[in-house]
Chain A
Amino acid sequence: MIGALAMKELRVLFASPLAWVVLAFVQVIAALFFLVLLQRYQIEQPRLAFVPGAGGFTERIAAPVFGTVGFVLLMVVPLLTMRLVAEERRSQTLPFLMSAPISITQIVLGKFLAVVAFLLLVTGLLVLMALSLYLGGKLDLGLVAGNALGLMLLTGAFAAAGLWVSCLTTQPLVAVVGTYLLLLVMWLVNIGTEDPASFLHALSLIRHFDSFGRGVLALADAAYYAIVIALFLLLSIRRLDADRLRT
C-alpha cells in the first residue's frame, strides 16, 4: 500500500523534467568537486605523504564530496518536496487518497519514502563515484559508508521538513520558500553563539553531520536526525488529519 503510493509519487516526480534536472545538477556539481579534489590530491600528495594525520584518498577526496552534496541538497530537496501535498491540494486530488482505505500515516510515509528513494539514488551515484577511486588505490570503505549514511539521514531530515511545509499550503511555491527558510534556520541556528557548550549547537542540522563525515557512527547524531524526521512526519500526519476535522 505504502509502496504503491511511493511508486506513484516517483512516477509523478519523474514525469516532470525537474527530477532529471536535479539528478544531473547534483551529479555535475559532485563530479566537478570530485575532480578538483583529485587534482589537488595528486599535486599535494608528494609533499603530504610523510605528514602524519594528513589523511589518504578517502578523507581528502570522497568525504568532502559527500559534505558538499549535503549542502547542495539543502537547496534541492525543497524543490522535490514542494509538490508532495501542496500540489494535491491545489489540483484537488487529496480526496482520492483520503477516501481510499489507507490511513493518513500510510499516506505520509508513502510520500516520504518516495523522496527517500530519490535521495538513495543520489547517494548511490555518489558512492559509485567514490568507489571509482579503487582504480588508483585502496579506499576506506567504512568512511564512505559513514558518509553515505550521514548524507541519507541529513537529507531525510530535509525531506521530512519539506513534506511538512508542503502540508501547510496549497501553493508549491510557498512550500519551497517556506522549506528554505525553515532549513536555513535549522542549519544556522548556532551561528551566533560563541559559547561552544551552548545547546544551540545541539539543534543545528549540520553539526550532527560532522561525526558521520569523519566516519564515526555516533548514536546521538543518528538519533538527532531520526527524531527530526519523526517529528516532521508526525506533524504532517497531524496537519493532514486536521483537514478532515477542519472547522
Chain B
Amino acid sequence: MGPDVPQPFGCALAKQVLCRATAANPMADDPKPNSDLTVCAHELSRSYGGAVVVRGIDIELRRGEVLGLLGPNGAGKTTTMQMLTGNLAPSAGSVSICGIDLLDDPAAAKARIGYLPEVPPLYRELKVDEYLTLAAKLHRVARSQISAAMAQAKQRCGLADIGARVIGTLSKGYQQRVGIAQAIIHSPDVVILDEPTVGLDPHQIREIRALIRELSGQHSVILSTHILPEVEAVCDRVQILRRGNIVYRGTIEALRQRRSGPALLVGLRRGPALDELQQLPGVARVEPADHGLLRIVQRNDQDCTEALARIAVERDWGLYHLAPEQATLEDVFVELTEQET
C-alpha cells in the first residue's frame, strides 16, 4: 500500500499514463507499486439535465485494498459506481480497469469487474445455481471451470446448500448473498459493492463484512455506504463525497485524527467547582460533557492526565473515569459533509 496521506489530485494524470503503460504488458512483474493499480478513474464527471451530480473526481485503488466511498444520500456514490462499472457513460473523464480503458474496450474491462448494485439484480424466477451459471457464462468463465467457480463463490457466500432454491423465495439476506456471489464468481480484479449491507440483520452484516475482508485478499474492493461503523470495520481507505465532490481522501486513522483534540474526559463523583479545575496546571478549559462527565481541554503539548489523577485522589474527588476523548468518525463525517460550500 502506498502513502496514505491525503494527496493533491494533480498527480492522477501521471498515474493514468503509468496505469496504461502497464496494460501493454500485464504479465510484467513491475516492482513499482503503481503496477498494482486496479482502478484508475480520472476527472470523472456526470451531469443530469444540467445538474452536475459528480464533479471531476479521481479514484485510485490498488490490489488488496478496500476503499470506502462515503457520503450522505444523494452525494453521487451510486452514480460514481455506475460509471466505474460501465452502466453509465461519464460526461467527462476516463476510467481504466487494470490498465484497460473502460470506454475503449468495455468488454475486456468489464470482464475484470464484479458489480453488486444497490438493488441486487436477481432474476426471481431462476434457481440460485441457474443464475450463478449464467453470471459465470456471461463473465467468460471457461466452461470447464464453471462448476468449480460456482462452488467457490457459493461456499464463500454461505450458499452451499441452497443452490436448488428459486431466488424469489429466498430471504433478503440470502438474496443479498446471491448478489455478492454473482459479483465474485469470475474472480474479478475489482469488486464494486453498492451498499452491500442495507436491509440485513446485524448477524448477516457481520458475515458480509467478514466476507468483504476475505475478498480483499485477492481482489480490490470498492464499497459505498453511509454506515460509518462499516467503514471502520472493513475499509483501508476512504473517500468522502459531498454533492459530487470529494471532500476527503485518506486512511481511516488519519480521518479520526482530524478531530481527536487534546481533550480528556473526566468523571468525578464529588467534583469541585469548575473554577477550581480550571486553575490546575496544563488545563486550558473545562466544560461539562455528556453522561455527567467533564471535558478538560489541555494546553498544547501538555499532558495533565497524571497530575489530574494524583490531585483527584489527594483531594478525594471520587475519580471514576479518566480517558482521552475519542472523536467518533460520525463527528468527522458530519463536519466534512455538512459544511457550507
Please list the residues of chain A having a beta carbon within 8 angstroms of any beta carbon in chain B.
Answer: 1, 4-5, 7-8, 11-12, 15-16, 91-103, 244-247
Contact status B110-A101, CB under 8 Å = yes
B282 within 8 A of A: no
Contact status B121-A11, CB under 8 Å = no
Of A7, A15, A94, the residue contacting B121 (CB under 8 A) is A94
CB distance from B112 to the nearest CB of A (A): 9
CB distance from A85 to the nearest CB of B (A): 13
B134 within 8 A of A: yes
Alpha-carbon separation in the docked complex, A15 to B130 (Å):
12
Give the number of chain B interface residues (Cβ < 8 Å).
33
Contact status B108-A15, CB under 8 Å = no
CB distance from A117 to the nearest CB of B (A): 16
Of A7, A91, A95, the residue contacting B87 (CB under 8 A) is A95
Alpha-carbon separation in the docked complex, A4 to B135 (Å):
9
Further contacts, 8 of them, CB under 8 A, given A1-B138, A91-B122: A1-B137, A96-B135, A99-B87, A101-B107, A101-B111, A101-B139, A244-B87, A247-B48
Alpha-carbon separation in the docked complex, A26 to B237 (Å):
60
Contact status A244-B138, CB under 8 Å = no
Alpha-carbon separation in the docked complex, A16 to B113 (Å):
32
B330 within 8 A of A: no
Alpha-carbon separation in the docked complex, A1 to B138 (Å):
6
Q: List 6 A-B contacts (CB under 8 A).
A: A12-B123, A98-B87, A99-B113, A101-B107, A101-B108, A246-B48
- The chain B residue with its CB closest to the CB of A100 is B138
Contact status A247-B47, CB under 8 Å = yes
- The chain A residue with its CB closest to the CB of B125 is A15
* Chain B residues with CB below 8 A from A95, complex form: 82, 85, 87, 115, 117, 121
* Residue among A4, A93, A95 having the largest count of chain B Cβ atoms under 10 Å: A95
Contact status A11-B125, CB under 8 Å = yes
* Chain A residues with CB below 8 A from B284, complex form: none
Question: Assuming A12-B123, A92-B117, is B137 touching A98 (CB within 8 A)?
Answer: no
Question: Assuming A92-B119, A92-B121, is B86 touching A98 (CB within 8 A)?
Answer: yes
- The chain B residue with its CB closest to the CB of A104 is B106
* Residue among B88, B117, B121 having the largest count of chain A Cβ atoms under 10 Å: B121
CB distance from A118 to the nearest CB of B (A): 15
Contact status B125-A99, CB under 8 Å = no
Contact status A99-B86, CB under 8 Å = yes
Q: CB-defined interface of B113-157 with A at 8 Å, one 1/0 digit per residue?
A: 101010101111110001000110111100000000000000000
- The chain A residue with its CB closest to the CB of B108 is A101
CB distance from A105 to the nearest CB of B (A): 11
Which of B280-339 touch A at CB < 8 Å? none
B33 within 8 A of A: no
* Chain A residues with CB below 8 A from B126, complex form: 8, 11-12, 15
Contact status A96-B182, CB under 8 Å = yes
Sorted nearest first, the 7 A-B pairs with minimum C-beta distance are A96-B121, A15-B125, A101-B111, A100-B138, A4-B137, A93-B121, A101-B110
- The chain A residue with its CB closest to the CB of B134 is A8
* Residue among B107, B111, B182 having the largest count of chain A Cβ atoms under 10 Å: B107
CB distance from A98 to the nearest CB of B (A): 5
Alpha-carbon separation in the docked complex, A26 to B227 (Å):
54
* Chain B residues with CB below 8 A from A246, complex form: 48, 88
* Chain A residues with CB below 8 A from B134, complex form: 4-5, 7-8
B268 within 8 A of A: no
* Chain A residues with CB below 8 A from B88, complex form: 244, 246
B89 within 8 A of A: yes
* Chain A residues with CB below 8 A from B135, complex form: 96, 100
Contact status B121-A5, CB under 8 Å = no
Which of B64-98 touch A at CB < 8 Å? 82, 85-89
Question: Assuming A8-B123, A244-B87, is B138 touching A101 (CB within 8 A)?
Answer: yes
B49 within 8 A of A: yes
* Chain A residues with CB below 8 A from B106, complex form: 101, 103
Contact status A99-B123, CB under 8 Å = no
Alpha-carbon separation in the docked complex, A96 to B183 (Å):
9
* Chain B residues with CB below 8 A from A16, complex form: 125
- The chain A residue with its CB closest to the CB of B183 is A99
Contact status A11-B140, CB under 8 Å = no
Alpha-carbon separation in the docked complex, A94 to B139 (Å):
15
Contact status A97-B49, CB under 8 Å = no
* Chain B residues with CB below 8 A from A244, complex form: 86-89
